[in-house]
């Protein structure tokens, strides 16, 4: 299939077109992602994520603006840059946690200033182990299993810390509401 009919079939979400587009462009797309991410496995995952995103939202591609190949390269580049920034933010949060510095709130713009201050104050009242568990889970995006591995603590201990922390945070919130 030539480029234009293949692009139309891809946008129409025909499964055979997805396979052909991937086969024709995989080497170049992985190369772009690898250049940005510096890791072959991460690059392959990035290409997969970008292609699935385009596959799910075919209206994002406009043939009048360029070839599907060029569009996919741009999508993979953007995905790789997003992933690299995400890794950098996560590493910075982890650095702050290990140094004991307070974490920045990722979702703070969604909170008004007084809510953000109340959350910070409540977290500050938790024992260090519980606070660290909550921060790694909510602001570090870690699962309890990942937290346990990172801290070298049994999974059950992490589950207990999280449950106790959430219970205490709930009690603090209830006390403020009264």
Residue 39 to residue 31: CA distance in whole angstroms: 10
pLDDT-based confidence at 173, cuts 50/70/90? low
Using left for φ > 0, alpha for ψ between -120 and 50, and beta otherwise, residue 138 falls in alpha
Which pLDDT band holds residue 142 (cuts at 50, 70, 90)? confident
What is residue 122's predicted lDDT score, i.e. its pLDDT?
82
Listed residue (38, 78, 33) closest to 54, CA to CA: 78
Comparing 11 with 172, which gets the higher pLDDT?
11
Average pLDDT over residues 67-88: 85
Assigned CATH for 102-177: 1.10.10.10
The DSSP output letter for 140 is S
Delimiting residues of CATH 1.10.1740.10 domain(s) in the chain: 3-88
Locate CATH 1.10.10.10 in the chain.
102-177
Lowest mean pLDDT among 33-37, 50-54, 112-116: 112-116
Query: pLDDT band for position 106 (50/70/90)?
Result: very low
Q: Which fold has domain 3-88?
A: Rna Polymerase Sigma Factor; Chain: A (1.10.1740)
pTM of the model: 0.50
């Amino acid at each position: 299939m030539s480029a234009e009919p293949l692009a139309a079939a891809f946008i129409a979400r025909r499964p055979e077109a997805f396979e052909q587009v991937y086969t024709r462009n995989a080497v170049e797309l992985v190369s772009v992602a690898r250049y940005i991410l510096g890791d072959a496995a991460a690059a392959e995952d990035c290409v997969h994520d970008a292609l699935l995103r385009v596959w799910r939202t075919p209206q994002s591609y406009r043939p009048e603006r360029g070839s599907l190949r060029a569009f996919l390269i741009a999508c993979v580049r953007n995905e790789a840059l997003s992933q690299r920034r995400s890794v950098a933010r996560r590493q910075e949060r982890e650095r702050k946690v290990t140094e004991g510095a307070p974490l920045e709130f990722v979702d703070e713009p969604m909170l008004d200033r007084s809510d953000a201050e109340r959350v910070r104050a409540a977290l500050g009242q938790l024992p260090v182990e519980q606070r660290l568990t909550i921060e790694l889970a909510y602001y570090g995006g870690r699962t309890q299993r990942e937290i346990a591995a990172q801290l070298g603590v049994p999974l059950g201990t992490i589950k207990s810390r999280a449950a106790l922390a959430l219970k205490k945070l709930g009690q603090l919130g209830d006390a403020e509401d009264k």
